[in-house]
Amino acid sequence: MSASVLLSLSDRLDRISTTLGRATAWLGLALVLVTFMVVVLRYLLDSGSIAMQESALYLHATLFMLGAAWTLKIDGHVRVDVLYRHFSARGKAAADLFGTLVFLLPTCTFLLWISLDYVEAAWRVREASPEAGGLPFVYLLKTLIPATGFLLIVQGISQLLRRLGELLQPGELPHG
């Protein structure tokens, strides 16, 4: 397979993470608004709402879980780059390829696999909040676990294809 085909496939997979990530980013605004409303209710009106507090938790979880693949795509995750920063562009591509194959894909595959029974059990009983007045959608929140694993696998495959494509290109890589 040629470098251009690999890079084209990677671009297509990247669109999934980009589209979902940009949409999910708006949850940050909703999270701020809900949190503000919780604070106003609690401290100014001396009232509280378990459902509102849990809504903030749900928004926070959704933001981070569904945004993880996009963060991976834009290289926004924390990296300990004591050695990496000194690598050439080809060295970085090879290191990314190794990390994706040895760490990212196996870990995300395990996360996806191990969470399926857990999520299935939550769906079977339509798990709800144990709090009086809480949200009745815990099963939806738990569904984010395998969804995150799947989305990170898709983005990991995209990175794998991109790094392979970069390594197959002749000459020095444009970035690094």
17 Cβ contact list (under 8 Å, min separation 6): 69, 70, 72, 73, 151, 154, 155, 158
Task: With a cut of 80, say whether residue 156 has pLDDT above it.
Answer: yes
Mean pLDDT within 39-57:
91
Percent of the chain with pLDDT over 90: 70
- Spans of all domains in the chain: 3-168
* 89: amino acid identity, one letter: A
CA distance 138 to 130: 9
For 88-145, write each residue's pLDDT tens digit. 989 999 999 999 999 999 999 999 999 999 999 999 999 999 998 989 999 999 999 9
Alpha-carbon span 143 to 122, nearest angstrom: 9
Q: What does pTM read for this prediction?
A: 0.88
Tokens of 161: 């294809």
Q: Tell me if 135 sits within 8 A of 52, measured CB to CB.
A: no
Q: Has residue 164 got a pLDDT over 70?
A: yes
- Give dist(CA 10, CA 106) in Å, integer: 19
Residue type at 174 in one-letter notation: P
